[in-house]
Structure 1
Amino acid sequence: MTPTERAHVWQQHITDWEVSGVSGSAYCKQQSLVYHQFVYWRRKLAPTEDSLEQAQTVTGFARVVSGPVVSTGRVDGLTVSLPGGVSITGLHTGNIELLGAVLRQL
């Protein structure tokens, strides 16, 4: 297998894992993969800062960055703001799967 073919195979595994909803370790067990190789390829094939900015420009999707949590005395959960002014608010661990379902439909 050429290095390019190997990278393609691992990219497909990483893509499949991302949509699977299971941990990396569980995915590797299901697929009979070596976990440390999975981690290596996931890091190696991770998009760079430049490619993320380029993808945002091309697709209209925004990169999500975790920031500091500011307490307002309320527990509203997560808010996701999409291009075009659409916001999804009130997300928390009890309904986070709903967000995945909504985003898959967009």
Structure 2
Amino acid sequence: MASTELHHFWQHTLTEWAASGLSGAAFCREHRLGYYQFSYWRRKLRAEGQSDAGAGFARVAPTVAATETADALTVSLPGGVSITGLHAGNVELLAAVLRQL
């Protein structure tokens, strides 16, 4: 496959994956794709689409609000998405959400 064909194929494939709701590994198993190649193209195309590609870290900051306790956290993700009210009792839920991103 020519370079431009590969680029187009992976753009289309990654769009399908994003709409599928599956994890990357599950999508690759279902479509018989190599996970390492999938990951490579996902990083490559994401970097091309971002002028200031970050290191991939999310900001975590403690919050104190009237309805939250002092040990609650807020995770702010790129694109303005924030997950609030995190504490030791629901940190596994956060891990599951972040694995899907």
- Class of the TM-score when normalised by the shorter of the 2 chains: 0.5 to 0.7
Q: Which of 63, 71, 79 lines up with 2:63 in the alignment?
A: 71
What's the offset of the Cα at 1:9? 0.2
Q: Structure 1 residue 50 and structure 2 residue 69: aligned? A: no
What's the offset of the Cα at 1:7? 0.8
Tell me the TM-score normalised to structure 1 length: 0.53
Q: Structure 1 residue 10 and structure 2 residue 5: aligned? A: no
Q: Give the count of matched residue pairs.
A: 79
Q: Which has the higher strand share?
A: 2
Tell me the TM-score normalised to structure 2 length: 0.55
Could you list the runs of 5+ residues in structure 1 that have no partner in the other structure?
Answer: 53-64, 83-88, 94-106
Q: Distance in 2 between matches of 1:17 and 1:91?
A: 29
What's the offset of the Cα at 1:91? 9.0
Instruction: State whether residues 17 and 27 of structure 1, in contact with CA within 8 Å, keep that contact through their aligned partners in structure 2.
Output: yes
Q: Which has the higher helix share?
A: 1
Instruction: State whether residues 74 and 84 of structure 2, in contact with CA within 8 Å, keep that contact through their aligned partners in structure 1.
Output: yes
Counterpart in 1 of 2:26? Answer: 26
